[in-house]
């Protein structure tokens, strides 16, 4: 495989697309990220890839891609950010899911990967409904960082969607990964466990300013699992 084009929304520091590349899905051709610091990180690791700053201002100019991936903002979904006052997809930040959906509807990729926090009751049913309404079947894949042998949990839900009303390839591959543990490839080493209570995103380069990037990272090894599903289903 490896010939698919990947576009990334809400890119952060690129953990999601990095994992897809590790899995052999293809190559990144554009990234959309509003934070200047994160864009510098992206430029360092994906030199030459087209960058855009505002997800609300892009559309027709985006190159056609086979895969669109991204984790839309979680501030209105996560109790860690909202002190229990979650507004869900009606919130100003997490409501940017509507821009994600608009872009997907415009560029019509074959595959869509959406990532966000657990618990997912405030967003998952609505995201899957919206994707279904524009012609995509989808499956949720629940993954924790410890499922890929990390020394911490960091539970996340990934929605994998395919432009196929029947969705048979997705159901078959989803059944294979359900319940899998310790999925990291040999040779991918994790750092020593951090002190109790320290928040972390393993899998990203150690030289980064971790505290600043923490909320902008998907554990790449988890994204790699999703990438393997795409590779297997795509054939």
Where are the extended beta strands (E) located within 10-125? 26-32, 50-52, 67-70, 111-117
Residue 66's domain spans which residues?
A: 4-234
Residue 8: pLDDT over 80:
yes
CATH number at residue 25: 3.40.50.150
Higher pLDDT, residue 19 or 80: 19
* Phi, psi of 21, rounded to the nearest 5 degrees: -65, -40
In tens, the pLDDT along 38-95 reads: 999 999 999 999 999 999 999 889 999 999 999 887 655 555 554 556 555 555 455 6
Average pLDDT, the chain: 78
> Is 74 annotated as catalytic?
yes
Active-site pick, 74, 120, 157, 222: 74
196 has a pLDDT exceeding 70: no
Lowest mean pLDDT among 16-20, 146-150, 197-201: 197-201
Q: Is 210 exposed, middle or buried (0-12, 13-18, 19+ CB in 10 A)?
A: middle
What's the pLDDT at 84?
52
Number of domains, the chain: 1
């Amino acid at each position: 495989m490896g010939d698919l084009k990947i576009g990334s929304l809400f890119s952060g520091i690129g953990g999601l697309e990095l994992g897809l590349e590790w899995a052999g899905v293809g190559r990144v051709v554009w990234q959309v990220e509003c934070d200047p610091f994160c864009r510098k990180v992206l430029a360092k690791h994906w030199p030459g890839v087209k960058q855009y700053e505002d997800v609300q201002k892009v559309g027709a100019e985006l190159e056609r891609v086979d895969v669109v991936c991204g984790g839309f903002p979680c501030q209105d979904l996560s109790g860690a950010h909202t002190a229990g006052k979650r507004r869900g997809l009606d919130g100003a930040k997490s409501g940017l899911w509507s821009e994600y959906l608009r872009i997907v509807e415009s560029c019509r990729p074959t595959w869509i990967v959406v990532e966000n926090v657990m618990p997912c009751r405030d967003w998952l049913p609505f995201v899957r409904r919206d994707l279904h309404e524009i012609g995509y079947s989808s499956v949720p894949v629940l993954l924790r960082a410890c499922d890929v042998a990390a020394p911490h949990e960091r539970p996340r839900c990934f929605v994998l969607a395919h432009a196929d009303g029947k969705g048979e390839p997705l159901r078959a591959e989803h059944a294979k990964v359900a319940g899998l543990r310790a999925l990291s490839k040999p040779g991918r080493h994790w750092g020593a466990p951090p002190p109790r209570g320290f928040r972390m995103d393993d899998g990203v380069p150690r030289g980064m300013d971790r505290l600043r990037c923490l909320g902008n990272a998907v554990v790449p090894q988890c994204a790699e699992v999703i990438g393997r599903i795409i590779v297997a289903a795509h054939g």
